[in-house]
Amino acid sequence: MSRNRRIVFGVVGLVAAGLLVFAIWHDPAHTGSTADPALVLRGHVTDESGSAAGIRIRFQGHAESTLSDADGGFALPMPKSVLNVTAWKPGHFVGFAPSDSRPLTIELRKLPPFDDENYQWVDPRPGANSFSCGNCHEAIFDEWRGSAHGRPGETSRFRDLFLGLDVQGKENGWSLVREHPDGSEVCASCHNPAPSGQPNFLGTEERHWGNVHCDFCHKISGPASGDIGLAHGRHGLELLRPREGQLILGPLEDAARRENAFSPFQRDSRLCASCHEGVVFGVSVYSTYSEWLASPAGQSGIQCQACHMKPTGKMTNIAPDHGGVERNPAAIANHRFFDTDQRTMLARSLKLNLTCSAASQGVRASVTVTAEGVGHRVPTGLPDRNLVLVVEAFDAMGKPLKAVDGPSLPSSVGDEFHGISGKLFAKMLRDSEGRSPVPFWQATQEFTDTRLRPGIPERSTFSFPAEAAKISAKLVYRRFWPGVAKSKGWQDDTWIIVEMIEPITKQD
């Protein structure tokens, strides 16, 4: 074969190969699979100024990424099927385009320049309207609905304390509205930060009661200026509500929907601080955020969301059948705000150790309580939550024996444990006349705080008569002081978190 003929055949071969690749790229039915893994997908990303450099580019749902070059260009391995290619830049919506687009250009649109206070909050219930979160995110909606953030306000303990009602709807017990009516707005700023102005999401005509719903949290763009804890709820946060269309600020950098924007703030503990840190009426009532800052978790940068939105490992698609893609289940946060549930998390974090020794003069019990793997004091949140260490001895017939020495529980624990040995771990508010416990709206700035600190053991020693045949130690968590729970008619207010029983071996 002559040299000219070889050149002609070589050129024809290159053209044919090029046409084949072009046909594969442009065939609408093609899934993107290719026999040549060396093929590269190239594209370009732009913003309002033109080509955008240094922008992170990835296939939706995939961890691997690249950065756009100085001219806005990027290259990724050719995918085996059509995937969304996503891009994001601070102050912009997430941009995206299908990988089979030709030319493959991703346009980044700027976020609205200001928050629209006339925005109408979206009812999250499935089918309520076209933007309802539950339409596409049913599993996440169900998680949220079962959480404290989504629980119906008209049946909550918050309502009972706020209005001074019991479970029968009758006036009974503590009441912020009756006892400190000027403080009602402080509570609403956290418990009802985004009132709908319509029959609320709970299916009642009562407009006052709402919840911390999806649309509110996903409109938070950052912290408001000022001291943390002095501005509460919505007043401590910057919102970004659109004048037209919709805007969702979320924790996924590659959420490929036109209204989605990535917000690193959604992964930051500071997001939680506005409602979980609060000086109310001059009293340091809520201190969970500052407790976290001082904890080993806070010092090492482990955010609140790492524990309270820990992925369940079961969800792989946040919007199945509605455009969602399969993801690593370890990357999808849960919206129950407890890993399994509150009681399980408490049991996991509270460690109890009991050792006993017997001698002719009596029995000695050493008890250690430690809060481990937790980023705040235990208990935290509302000061009425309390943890009681109860230590008891029994003779061979099961008769209780009084301690000879060791700490005894104070009268504030209530009649149930009156005169029994143990320790109270609580934030004890008191009023100007020294009465304690009292609700925060009656309290002075002085209080006693004996709650557990993360990682710091609390050790106690108790002595019992020589007749002791066994020693019991248990940790009892109570969501409210017993007198309050009784006046309100609240049930299931006391949980035994962990209990140990040690038989006594007598020495010869």
- pLDDT, average across residues 138-163: 84
Report pLDDT for 185. 81
Is residue 2 situated within a structural domain?
Answer: no
Report pLDDT for 258. 94
pLDDT-derived band at 13, boundaries 50, 70, 90: very low
Is residue 34 packed enough to be buried (19+ CB in 10 Å), middle (13-18) or exposed (0-12)?
middle
**Residues 355 and 445 both lie in one domain:** yes
Report pLDDT for 152. 60
Q: Which residue has the higher pLDDT, 257 or 186?
A: 257
The token duo for 508 is 């010869």
- pLDDT, average across residues 60-80: 96
Q: What is the CATH number of the domain that holds 69?
A: 2.60.40.1120
Report pLDDT for 34. 32
**Residues 295 and 358 both lie in one domain:** no
The residue among 107, 142, 160 that closes a domain is 107
Asked if residue 265 has pLDDT above 60, the reply is yes
Asked if residue 209 has pLDDT above 80, the reply is no
Q: Which residue has the higher pLDDT, 162 or 137?
A: 137
Domain count, the chain: 3
Asked if residue 212 has pLDDT above 50, the reply is yes
**Residues 415 and 316 both lie in one domain:** no
CA distance 458 to 352: 10
**Residues 229 and 294 both lie in one domain:** yes
**Residues 415 and 497 both lie in one domain:** yes
CA distance 318 to 16: 43
- The region of weakest confidence among 127-136, 172-181, 198-207 is 198-207
**Residues 96 and 138 both lie in one domain:** no
**Residues 364 and 478 both lie in one domain:** yes
**Average model confidence (pLDDT) for the chain?**
88
The residue among 263, 297, 331 that closes a domain is 331
CA distance 398 to 144: 46
The residue among 304, 331, 358 that closes a domain is 331
Report pLDDT for 381. 95
Is residue 492 situated within a structural domain?
Answer: yes
Is residue 167 situated within a structural domain?
Answer: no
Which residues does residue 354 pair with via DSSP β-bridges, in sequence order? 367
Asked if residue 24 has pLDDT above 90, the reply is no
Residue with tokens 């979206």: 122
Q: Which domain holds residue 251?
A: 133-150+212-331
Asked if residue 234 has pLDDT above 50, the reply is yes
422 touches 388 (CB < 8 A)? yes
pLDDT-derived band at 208, boundaries 50, 70, 90: very low
Asked if residue 278 has pLDDT above 70, the reply is yes
Report pLDDT for 27. 31
**Residues 371 and 306 both lie in one domain:** no
Asked if residue 245 has pLDDT above 60, the reply is yes
Is residue 406 situated within a structural domain?
Answer: yes
Report pLDDT for 113. 96
Is residue 358 situated within a structural domain?
Answer: yes
**Residues 318 and 377 both lie in one domain:** no
Structure confidence by residue, pLDDT tens digits, 306-329: 999 999 999 999 999 999 999 999
Q: Which residues of 316-335 are buried (b: 16+ CB within 10 A; e: fewer)?
A: ebbbeeeebbebeeeebbbb
**Residues 376 and 286 both lie in one domain:** no
- pLDDT, average across residues 33-46: 74
Report pLDDT for 508. 56
Most confident of 12-16, 158-162, 282-286, 410-414: 282-286
pLDDT-derived band at 21, boundaries 50, 70, 90: very low
CA distance 237 to 228: 10
- Against a cut of 0.85, is the pTM above it? yes
Is residue 79 situated within a structural domain?
Answer: yes
**Residues 480 and 397 both lie in one domain:** yes
Report pLDDT for 408. 92
Is residue 165 situated within a structural domain?
Answer: no
Report pLDDT for 321. 93
Structure confidence by residue, pLDDT tens digits, 351-366: 999 999 997 789 999 9
**Residues 137 and 284 both lie in one domain:** yes
Is residue 21 situated within a structural domain?
Answer: no
Structure confidence by residue, pLDDT tens digits, 403-421: 999 999 998 888 889 889 9
- pLDDT, average across residues 196-207: 44
Q: Cis link prior to 113 (omega < 30° from 0)?
A: no
Is residue 211 packed enough to be buried (19+ CB in 10 Å), middle (13-18) or exposed (0-12)?
buried
The token duo for 208 is 């006052």
Alpha helices in 27-125, H assignment, sequence order: none
